[in-house]
Structure 1
Amino acid sequence: MEKSGHDRKRRPGGKKSIRASSAARKGHTMGELFRSEPMQLVQLFVQIEAAHDTVDQLGQLGLVQFKDLNPEVSPFQRNFVNEVKRCDEMERKLNFFGEQIEKELKEIQIERKSEEELSLVTLSEVNGDNRITNQMDELENQFDEIERELTQVNQNQEQLTRNYNELVELQNMLKKDSVFFSENTNQNFDDRREEVRGLLSESEASRSVKLGFLTGVILRERLPNFERILWRSTRGNLYLKHDPISTRIKDPHTGEEVDKDVFIVFYQGERIQTKIKKICETFGANVYPCPSDPKERKDLLHQINQRLDDLKAVLSQTSKHRRSTLMDIGRRYGTWREKVVKEKAIFDTMNKFNYDNGRKCLIAEGWCPKTSTERIVNAMRNATETSGALVPSILSVIQSREEPPTSFKTNKFTSGFQGIVDAYGIARYGEVNPAVFDIITFPFLFAVMFGDIGHGLIMLLLAVYFVINEKSLGKTKLNEMIKTIFDGRYLLLMMGLFSLYTGLIYNETFAVPITLSGLQGFDQESCHSQGVCQQKVNSVYPFGVDPTWFGAENALMFSNSLKMKMSIIFGVVQMSVGIVLSLFNAMHFRKPLDIWCEFVPQMIFLQAIFGWLVFLILFKWCHYYEDPSQAPFILNALIKMFLSPGVVDDTNRFFDGQLGLQWFLIFLAFVSVPWMLVAKPMILRQRHNESLLANPHHGDDEEESNGHGGDDHGHGGEFDFGEIFIHQIIHTIEFVLGCVSNTASYLRLWALSLAHSQLSEVFWARLFMLTFGIGNDTANRGASVVAIFIGWSIWAGVTMGVLMVMESLSSFLHALRLHWVEFQNKFFKGDGKAFTPFSYEKLLSPDEM
């Protein structure tokens, strides 16, 4: 095998590497979630004697993502393929044991080991060079012995069960046959023969002919077809009688409980007998011998009863032995499973290493956090001492231009939000992590669409239940849907809290407002006497929407205006934050060109148009107009700003000097587009030409054209101005058109909030409140109570099914879209590689096991 890492530039390992990592840890003040952990590529030199224990120790740490240094080598040609095959075979046997346990002992839970016990699971107790092989041999022999024993017990039990079921069929058949023959005796068999006279021809009837019979058991559902085929194949030369078995019996071949019938066929001739036997075989009928003599039948039935009692006792003992064996296996199954899974993972990982013939050691490479170097070195030192290797393992940090994997330290609260981002794409190494902002913005935007005190409280209570019982529920095997909700319990908690908050702002509880008496901003007497509510002087409802609006004729108009403008404000603010985060990325990656040629013109363009729109909304909210019809229209002002840039009508005038400010904003917006389009490609071209003049042989090595200074094109390839310019055109068009479409997309906040509110109101008024008008008089009070209960039940069911399930899912998906597209496309590339370290914790998780 080839050696790896010798041609790379390496920094000295050991203590120097540890000191460097400590310094990096102290200097890392941006937060563990805002950007990826600082990663480094390390090279390990491990003696063969210590390799197994080293990988085991690193698996317990879960801090190293090993690289495959033998990608061109087939899995069947690697160093430890035989050990992997042995583990696969042991895993197959464990699966067999597990299937048997699941069939027989469904109530037995396979025991899980504690963290302290898990440290003893690996094969590392015996001293000596061959301890791993010896223990694998011992474990493999133990599995072989158990498999042979289980297979033998299963075969014996299967055969005994088949014999028992056959005897049960024979027992029922003999009882029924005794009835058949008893009926024939009571009615005089000679008279009965007249019924089967059609079996014989006239010449045969004159002679003394003895009838034969065949008896057996058949599935009841097959009996009609069986009888029809018999009749046709023998042309009616038979007599068939059948009787159902009163209880369900087990089929000897399948072991399933089925309904069966006993049948007896009278026939004449060996040819017909042969036909009947073949038809019985075809229909799966079990044919048994039956003596014609009553005494012989009675003796046979007595023998069968004795054999059934004996078989029942033997089966009981066999079943107890099998159950005892499986219970013993079940107690050790968890430990065995974890042991085999660990061993297989260790040898799979060791197959990624290179073998150095000169040093007689294994060489490994992998990514790890810079702050974890000391812990990894200590683990390697412990592994060397445990294995008894004479030469210590060495760790050295190596330089590489390969992009490191991305790793964010999350906990049970932040992991759900990180999962939302990772579902879209893994952040580039060093890129700003959107999950930091999603923790607040995602549940908030969801709540804008789902705002209701009652609905938010239900969601909050469900989340609180999951959080309080997270330990017990985490150990329980939940179905897929419930598990998905449980995994996102903290996300659900935040969504419930924010829905409760926005419900207070909207002043809606199941579409019913909460009224704080005497605090309304409108005169209630004028509402009742004049039909028009007069606003009180210097009086505003203290929090949220004034309840007086509910039930007013213009309530929907007011709600639409409020929520539509709020949606625009939230959208522009979130998109502006996204552009600011692109500035942080450019500063982190040291790309000044991206700052001046992308961030600055993008921010100018967005604020010149949509920032101006937000300003007009806030300006109009802050100013009182005595005659609302004379108030300027925001939409008309924005449209005419571009269609009639030199004119500001009185109907669109907000303040003096508006025309000059609009001219300036239009100028900035139009200048920013060619700025985004042309500046960056031209500067890159100029730098490329200057590089060619300075060093003609290395013209394609400049930083800006190899993907580090440009925007994701080049990546070390030859400079192509046409490709860069086309890419910039696409990027500019996407941003300019995206500003319009993304802003419009935020109107979904208004649309879904309106739909949620209207549905809540309809359900409340039409399903629940209507029932209060039924049977108001005293005589019909009972009917009124029943009607109210029925109405409440329907309302509660529809609320849970439509609003709490369908509407919440719809709001969740729309909030997801706003974050993935409208927010993250301003700064997030999402084309990184996730950090997937070799870790027992993930390997032995219930989902993986």
Structure 2
Amino acid sequence: MASFFSTPLWRSSPMQMVQLFVQIEAAHDTVDELGKLGLIQFIDHNENVNAFQRYFVNEVKRCDEMERKLKYFEDQIKKEPKIYKKLEQLQQEPTDVPAEEALQMDELETRFDELELELKQANNNLETLQRNYNELIQLRYVLTKDAVFFQENPNLAGPQGEHSARSPLLSEEAIVDVGKQGVKLGFITGVMNTEKMPAFQRSLWRATRGNNFVRDALIEEDIVDPHSGEEVCKTVFIVFFQGDRLQTKIKKICESFGANIYDCPDTSFERANLLQKVSVRIQDLSVVLDRSKDHKRQVLLGIVSRHSLWTTKVLKEKSIYHTMNLFDYDVGRKCLIAKGWCPKTSTEAIQIALKTATTRSGALVPSVLSVIKPEGDAPTHFETNKYTKSFQDIVHAYGIAHYREINPAVMTIVTFPFLFGVMFGDVGHGVMMLAASIALILLEKKLDGKKLNEIIKMPYDGRYVLFLMSLFGIYVGFIYNELFSIPMDIFGSNYKNIDGVMVQTDVNRTYPFGVDPVWKGAPNELDYYNSFKMKLSVIFGIIQMSVGIVFSLLNYLNQKGKIKWINILTQFIPQVIFLWSIFGYMCFIIFLKWIHPYHRLGTDPPFVLPLIIAMFLQPGTAPEPLLYQGQHTVQLILLFAAFISVPIMLIPKPLILKKMHEDEVKAKALGQFHEEEHDDEELVIGGHGDHFEFGEVFVHQVIHTIEFVLGAISNTASYLRLWALSLAHSELSTVFWERILIGQIQGGNPFMAFIGFGAWLGGSIAVLLIMESLSAFLHALRLHWVEFQNKFYIGDGKSFSPFSYKTVLSGDSDEA
């Protein structure tokens, strides 16, 4: 049994600290083989050395630069949706390992430089061509729209059609002050973003005090921005004005709004000639632009087929040199010295990897692996699979287990979905959740490894948690006998309605499984269900907290020396006595009232809570009628045991630790102290080292004792949330069924019945399946983190993070 509780399922794998001596010529291949293995967590030998002063900083910088270029390539590919889609497909495929290992960094660096230069030149050419193309398109629209503007003025269209654009806009008969001499107007025309036009016109009006005339027309096609590549909506404008000063002001305003100003000929003949030339140039430039884009696409297609392979190679190389920077470099012996943690069971695999690396590199001196005395606390490593990982993550979200501490995730696999089911229990809603979880499990191969939206990623990562939660929801739903809040008469009720009175048909028969369906809808339904669920909540709470205290015993048993027995005698035993003297006795009373037929014997037993309160306020007495013979004596003994267990938890341990410290100091002074041999599988907690402060230890023990005593009461009350959420779920389900669905069906209108069904289904999914399940999940999480784990779980450990290519390539490592 003891060996079972020491397995990697229950406790962290036994770890050892190892030291590696690697020749410099074999270092790269050695780290490469260890990265494939993923079994050593290296310790930084150069903590006090700046990152820019380490031995392989130039190699890391080189890899960073290559990674930047790969990122640049990817950014360029993203601008081509079809090509990027192909890249995403290739990224999902496994890497060709032989092809990746055959790549040489020098060749890759040269290739990256060439591709980057070629892409930059292509982008510059495309940007220049696009800018010229845009200007020609805009000029074409300016010429076209301006012709419309001038045609709208009859004074500009003479019989020959050759009048200047600067001819008088007013007829000679209308000019009084200046005789027959017309007013000469200048104009500025150009193109700007449509969204800026209102502000532009307001600025013109204010700057010229209204002495301008503006006409504008929207360009029907969007213009591509050469910098961003996005399509922009633009507008052609023409501003008429009088005088050189206004011309200077208007040009400055146009520049401030980013407008492109074009010189437009004065005569319609010149505008027509220019428009024809512009059209020809646009056609020629369009051909050149298409060819340039095709050339860039060909370059990107060549990159896409190798991009994933290149990325894998560069990330691996970068992680290798990043890891080598953690090693100590012995200049005299020309070797690297590394320290790290690894599981005890992995020694042989590491030795094989070292031999393989030595053979690959052709080094004459083989690498040396030796086990050394540990420095500091060992990291925690639990062996998980895709089923248990989600539950382990729930525990790790609270804190990483201390090395060799008992693992709460083992019990969490069962208790977490069960407590969720107690709060969520409904067969119908459980089946709907089960269907969703099975769908996620069936999509596992398709979705695994893909970058998912955060909203989808959370339920996908916890798909097996959802699966078990739904199963327990269905199971507890059968116990509550609820299917969308409707009772299920599976085995036949034991009650019959005779003249309006419910009569039990068979006194000796009980409903085989769960609650008799007759209770649903009965006048005293809430009284019955509240009593039943409230008592179940307390029982489940006491059982789970008791399991937590037993887990503390398993932690104590894994300690060495006197501290093991001190903790068992002054912590575990008094804690069990205190909890079970009060709350264990409460559970006994609940079961006694359920089992013993008091009502058939004509007695009305007292309520449980007043009985427990009277046990404290009036020791030696009990409310009548008594539940069993000797009740006064039993309650008095239990009360005494509970009170005496508190000082046992509080006083002895600090005094014993003080005496042990004094004896240790005396033994060291006499030279008779012998340090105990280190045990890799020992749980080391609560040590004070050479410094021992009795006041600090005693205050810590006082806090721990008060926390347990008050926590035993508050934690028990906290489990009543199981009853509260179960009641809320049941009542909400009843309201949705009766008020939304049945109410519309009974109305007799088929259309309203259909609407009612849709509202019921939508409300059930949104409120009961999503919001209620999330609420039950969070409350189950709290019961495990606070009420269960605080009885034994320290959670101050460090996670085992070995150097592994799998971690590096997944992006979860800092080395990536």
CA RMSD in angstroms, aligned pairs only = 2.7
> Partner residue of 1:130?
none
1:816-848 CA-partner distances (Å, limit 9, x unpaired) = 011111111111100011100001111112666
> Partner residue of 2:86?
108
> Partner residue of 1:769?
742
In the alignment, is the contact (CA less than 8 A) between 2:538 and 2:716 conserved in 1?
yes
Matched, 1:536 2:506: yes
> Partner residue of 2:150?
181
Q: 1:710 to 1:304 in 2, by over 3 A?
A: closer
Distance 2:633 2:190 in 1: 105
> Partner residue of 1:4?
none
Matched, 1:423 2:397: yes
> Partner residue of 2:137?
168
> Partner residue of 1:410?
384
1:271-290 CA-partner distances (Å, limit 9, x unpaired) = 33323222221222221112
In the alignment, is the contact (CA less than 8 A) between 2:381 and 2:800 conserved in 1?
yes
| Residue 235 of structure 1: how far off its partner (Å) | 4.7
Matched, 1:230 2:208: no
| Residue 797 of structure 1: how far off its partner (Å) | 0.8
| Residue 737 of structure 1: how far off its partner (Å) | 0.7
Letter in 2 for 1:464: I
> Partner residue of 2:250?
276
Distance 1:32 1:447 in 2: 28
| Residue 355 of structure 1: how far off its partner (Å) | 1.1
Q: 1:289 to 1:354 in 2, by over 3 A?
A: same
Letter in 1 for 2:757: W
Q: 1:304 to 1:102 in 2, by over 3 A?
A: same
Distance 1:846 1:395 in 2: 29
Distance 2:651 2:39 in 1: 45
In the alignment, is the contact (CA less than 8 A) between 1:196 and 1:239 conserved in 2?
no
Distance 1:71 1:560 in 2: 60
Q: Of 752, 761, 764, which residue of structure 2 is paired with 1:787?
A: 752
Question: Which deviates more, 489-498 or 680-689?
Answer: 680-689
> Partner residue of 2:447?
473
Matched, 1:845 2:806: no
> Partner residue of 1:94?
70
> Partner residue of 1:47?
23
Q: Of 302, 316, 327, which residue of structure 2 is paired with 1:342?
A: 316
Matched, 1:214 2:188: yes
Letter in 1 for 2:91: R
Q: 1:333 to 1:600 in 2, by over 3 A?
A: same
Distance 1:117 1:258 in 2: 43
In the alignment, is the contact (CA less than 8 A) between 1:113 and 1:334 conserved in 2?
no
Q: 1:69 to 1:222 in 2, by over 3 A?
A: closer
Q: Of 52, 58, 71, which residue of structure 2 is paired with 1:82?
A: 58
Q: 1:698 to 1:497 in 2, by over 3 A?
A: farther
Letter in 2 for 1:541: Y
Alignment map for 1:271-420 (pairs within 5 Å): 271-420=245-394
In the alignment, is the contact (CA less than 8 A) between 2:91 and 2:308 conserved in 1?
yes
Q: Secondary structure at the match of 1:650?
A: coil
Letter in 1 for 2:525: A
Distance 1:631 1:199 in 2: 113
In the alignment, is the contact (CA less than 8 A) between 1:681 and 1:728 conserved in 2?
yes
Distance 2:33 2:764 in 1: 53
Matched, 1:606 2:584: no
Distance 1:268 1:772 in 2: 78
Count of residue correspondences: 797
Letter in 2 for 1:175: T
Letter in 1 for 2:135: E
Q: Secondary structure at the match of 2:6?
A: coil
**How does the TM-score come out when normalised to structure 1?**
0.89
Q: 1:723 to 1:558 in 2, by over 3 A?
A: same
Distance 2:77 2:726 in 1: 52
Letter in 2 for 1:747: L
Distance 2:659 2:683 in 1: 13
| Residue 346 of structure 1: how far off its partner (Å) | 0.5
Q: Of 514, 522, 532, which residue of structure 2 is paired with 1:552?
A: 522
In the alignment, is the contact (CA less than 8 A) between 1:521 and 1:536 conserved in 2?
yes
Matched, 1:809 2:774: yes
Letter in 1 for 2:524: N
> Partner residue of 1:735?
708
Letter in 1 for 2:650: L
> Partner residue of 2:410?
436
Unaligned runs of 5+ in 1: 1-25, 126-134, 776-783
Q: 1:644 to 1:47 in 2, by over 3 A?
A: same
Letter in 1 for 2:421: A
Alignment map for 1:130-169 (pairs within 5 Å): 135-169=104-138
Distance 2:397 2:698 in 1: 31
> Partner residue of 1:505?
479
> Partner residue of 1:823?
788
> Partner residue of 1:485?
459
In the alignment, is the contact (CA less than 8 A) between 2:169 and 2:183 conserved in 1?
no
In the alignment, is the contact (CA less than 8 A) between 1:198 and 1:237 conserved in 2?
no
> Partner residue of 1:450?
424
Letter in 2 for 1:158: E
In the alignment, is the contact (CA less than 8 A) between 2:558 and 2:683 conserved in 1?
no
Letter in 2 for 1:606: L
> Partner residue of 1:583?
553
In the alignment, is the contact (CA less than 8 A) between 1:688 and 1:702 conserved in 2?
no
Distance 2:263 2:593 in 1: 101
Distance 2:589 2:95 in 1: 64
| Residue 33 of structure 1: how far off its partner (Å) | 1.3
Matched, 1:117 2:82: no
1:237-281 CA-partner distances (Å, limit 9, x unpaired) = 544433333444445676543443333334444333323222221
1:138-196 CA-partner distances (Å, limit 9, x unpaired) = 21111111111111111111111111111111111111222333444447779983539
Distance 2:404 2:176 in 1: 100
| Residue 693 of structure 1: how far off its partner (Å) | 4.5
Letter in 1 for 2:514: G
Q: Of 687, 692, 696, which residue of structure 2 is paired with 1:719?
A: 692
| Residue 531 of structure 1: how far off its partner (Å) | 3.0
1:793-829 CA-partner distances (Å, limit 9, x unpaired) = 1111111111111110110011001111111111110
In the alignment, is the contact (CA less than 8 A) between 1:68 and 1:352 conserved in 2?
yes
1:490-520 CA-partner distances (Å, limit 9, x unpaired) = 1111101111100111110110111126x21
Q: Secondary structure at the match of 2:168?
A: helix
Matched, 1:594 2:559: no
> Partner residue of 1:683?
656
> Partner residue of 2:722?
749
Q: 1:50 to 1:790 in 2, by over 3 A?
A: same
Letter in 2 for 1:812: F
Q: 1:380 to 1:685 in 2, by over 3 A?
A: same
Question: Which deviates more, 826-835 or 288-297?
Answer: 288-297
Q: 1:533 to 1:193 in 2, by over 3 A?
A: farther
Distance 2:223 2:172 in 1: 35
| Residue 401 of structure 1: how far off its partner (Å) | 4.8
In the alignment, is the contact (CA less than 8 A) between 2:168 and 2:185 conserved in 1?
no
In the alignment, is the contact (CA less than 8 A) between 2:23 and 2:335 conserved in 1?
yes
Distance 1:800 1:222 in 2: 47
Unaligned runs of 5+ in 2: none
In the alignment, is the contact (CA less than 8 A) between 1:424 and 1:820 conserved in 2?
yes
Q: Of 619, 634, 659, which residue of structure 2 is paired with 1:661?
A: 634
Identity fraction in percent? 53
Distance 2:744 2:121 in 1: 69
Distance 2:586 2:419 in 1: 20
| Residue 102 of structure 1: how far off its partner (Å) | 1.2
Distance 1:52 1:274 in 2: 68
Distance 1:658 1:196 in 2: 121
